[in-house]
Amino acid sequence: MADHSKGATLDGLTSVQHPPGQTEPRKRAFMDVISDDKYYKWMLVIPLILVLCIFMFYPLFYCMYYSLHEFGMVKAATWTGLENYRDVLQDGEFWLALGRTGYVLCLSIGAELIIGMSIAVLFNREFFGQNAIRGMILLPLLIAPLAVSMMWNFFLQYDFGIVNLFLGLFGIPKVSWFAPGTGLNTIAAISIWQWAPFSIFVLLAGLKSLPRDSFEAARVDGGGPWYVFRRLTLPNLAPLIMIIVLLRTMWLIRLFDPLYGTTRGGADTELLDWQIYRNSFVYFDIGRGSALAIISLFLTMIICGILFRQLMRALSGANR
Amino acid sequence: MKKVLFWALTFLVFFTFVSPLIWMYLTSFKTNADIYTQEISKMFYFTPVLANYKTLFFKTEFFRELINTIIISGVSTVLVMLVALPAAYSFARWETGHGHLLFVTISTRMFPAAVAAIPFFMAFKALGMLDMHIGLLLLYLYFNVSFAVFLLYGFFREIPPELEQAAQVDGYGRLDIFRKIVFPMIKPGAAITAIFCFIFSWNEFLYAFLFTRNIARTLTMGMASFWASGQIDWGTMAACVCLAILPTLAAAWFMQRYIIRGLTFGAIKG
């Protein structure tokens, strides 16, 4: 009730606009306390906090708890301390999966940035039908990743896949795309096909918003196109490139659907998320699965911290 | 000369990103003989048939999966908006929690899917909620809420606070301000956010795969089941994929201006 004084001033203001007696005074006082900003703003986030508690903190503590236990769903869980973590860190398969995930990360993001930058520079002009072409190229972005991978699985079939037949026209022998050794690259390529448009249009948005005058000045001063690109364009686009790298890292670390649609973790393509799935839902080794999940979470949290700072910087920059 | 080069490159880009989709739609109208043919000419000149769609409609559970997907995506989107709209408004207007709460919210988006999958699999098993719409629906609420809060936060920040202050002076209550001043201005942003949440739920596979079997299975599960069987029926699979991605293609076409903004959590206006 300490906030009644503030409510009273609001009442005073309102009575100027509306004839008094239109609303009941007692009901008003209660509404004023509720709608005082100090309480109101917290009331609005209560549903969110509830959702976070249920869906974030419960699973987190559950995973932490069982990662310290031997638990196979049949027998009761027994305390084993850091045993699960030691097993995981000593397991060659874990390091292989981690290495493959890192490889796919570097390959996809590198290729997407190079392709994205080239096409963004190509499209950074006015041309006939630019909106239609832009719209068409954006199409792959929202398709279900599983559908994309199954689609490419069909195109890349050894015997009758269109890609192998097409290459055959140029005399190139058939390639088995999902064999050990090539499988991982194929999965990265599928991901690149779907997500290159993302890089293209993020960088294009950046190119379109570059300050014109400094480029004019550089051109007048006799800077060649390559010099201007390296010294002016790239530094200006650095925050956007940062955002692409961080968002893609975040999505690629949990790459799962393209694996299911193609090799299903076989042919030396098992990535981190698939290993978690295999341990916890195929072998039902909940303890070990939880330990893997916590490790994966820590890796992502480090990236998440950087991402958030970058996003906030970009947001405040855009509002200025 | 420069122009020719530009159009050649543009065509190449266009071909790379669009032709696979066209090829998929062509395949869905082919007979098995035309699918397995090795002759390039026969791959383009074929008599279109609807056999694949007939198989899909009458021999598989396609319609049930479609209805399940619509129910689960739709209801979870409504729930997400009910939670995210007030929260994002609070964050944008009063910096509730000084950014820390917002940080915690966004960090859920970066959680490996398995961190939630393992505990909720056990919990739903105990509660008998596996293979029920409500289980998947609640997981999609969790899956989308941080994204929705963050995107809406950006939209709310575009509304000048002066408008609300003016309304307050005019004697509007807090609820009225939200209903009559803020909501009409946030409507387009809210619609875009809702469509994104709907599509993300529509496309989601891992949770659908782990938490549904028969009754509540979604379209992505239906697609995956073609690949799971020994003899793969590519034609019917193509038909299934083509129909399942149709709404997302339509959304991508009509929301082109907002896709980049949405996918970057509002950081880049596109």
Per-residue model confidence (pLDDT) at position B27: 86
CB-nearest partner of B145 from A51, A127, A277: A51
Q: Find, in chain A, the residue whose alpha carbon is nearest to that of B257.
A: A135
CA-based nearest residue to A196, from A101, A111, A102: A111
Reduced to 3 states (helix: H, G, I; strand: E, B; else coil), residue A74 is coil
Query: How many angstroms separate the Cα of B197 from the Cα of each of A45, A74, A132?
Result: 19, 37, 25
Question: Quick check: A260 and B224 CB within 8 A?
Answer: yes
Give contacts of B 3-42 with A, CB under 8 A.
6, 9-10, 13-14, 16-18, 20-21, 23-24, 27, 35-38, 40
CATH number at residue A100: 1.10.3720.10
Rounded to an integer, what distance in angstroms lies between the CA atom of residue B61 and that of residue B203?
18
Q: How many residues does chain B have?
A: 270
Q: Does the residue A56 lie in any domain?
A: no
CB-nearest partner of B118 from A34, A159, A290: A290
Instruction: Specify whether the CB–CB gap between A257 and A146 falls below 8 A.
Output: yes
* Assembly ipTM: 0.88
- Cα of B164 to nearest chain A Cα, Å: 13
Name chain A contacts of B267, Cβ cutoff 8 Å.
243, 310-311, 314-315, 318
- Cα of A231 to nearest chain B Cα, Å: 23
Secondary structure element (H or E) that encloses residue A78, with its range: strand A78-79
Q: Does the residue A142 lie in any domain?
A: yes
Q: Does the residue A247 lie in any domain?
A: yes
**Domain residue limits at A216:** 83-319
Paired strand residues for A70: A78
Per-residue model confidence (pLDDT) at position A2: 39
Q: Does the residue A50 lie in any domain?
A: no
Per-residue model confidence (pLDDT) at position A121: 86
| Count of structural domains within chain A | 1
pLDDT in tens, chain B (270 residues): 788 888 888 888 888 888 899 988 988 888 877 778 777 777 777 778 888 888 888 888 888 889 999 999 999 999 999 999 988 888 888 877 777 888 788 777 777 787 888 888 888 888 888 888 888 888 899 888 988 998 888 888 888 888 878 887 887 777 778 788 888 888 888 998 999 999 999 998 888 888 888 888 888 888 888 876 677 888 888 888 899 899 988 888 888 888 888 887 777 776
Q: Does the residue A253 lie in any domain?
A: yes
Name chain A contacts of B117, Cβ cutoff 8 Å.
277, 280-281
Q: Does the residue A49 lie in any domain?
A: no
Name chain A contacts of B33, Cβ cutoff 8 Å.
none
Paired strand residues for A78: A70
Paired strand residues for A69: A79
Name chain A contacts of B104, Cβ cutoff 8 Å.
52, 56
| Dihedral sign computed on CA atoms, order A48, A51, A55, A61 | positive
Q: Which residues of chain A have pLDDT under 50?
A: 1-21, 318-320
CATH number attached to the domain at B53-263: 1.10.3720.10
Per-residue model confidence (pLDDT) at position A287: 83
Question: Quick check: A44 and B252 CB within 8 A?
Answer: no
Phi-psi region of A231 (alpha: psi -120 to 50; beta: other; left: phi over 0): alpha
* Residue A26: how many other CB atoms lie within 10 Å: 8
Q: Does the residue A43 lie in any domain?
A: no
Q: Does the residue A52 lie in any domain?
A: no
Question: Quick check: A261 and B170 CB within 8 A?
Answer: no
| A221 phi and psi angles, rounded to 5 deg | -70, 0
Per-residue model confidence (pLDDT) at position A316: 62
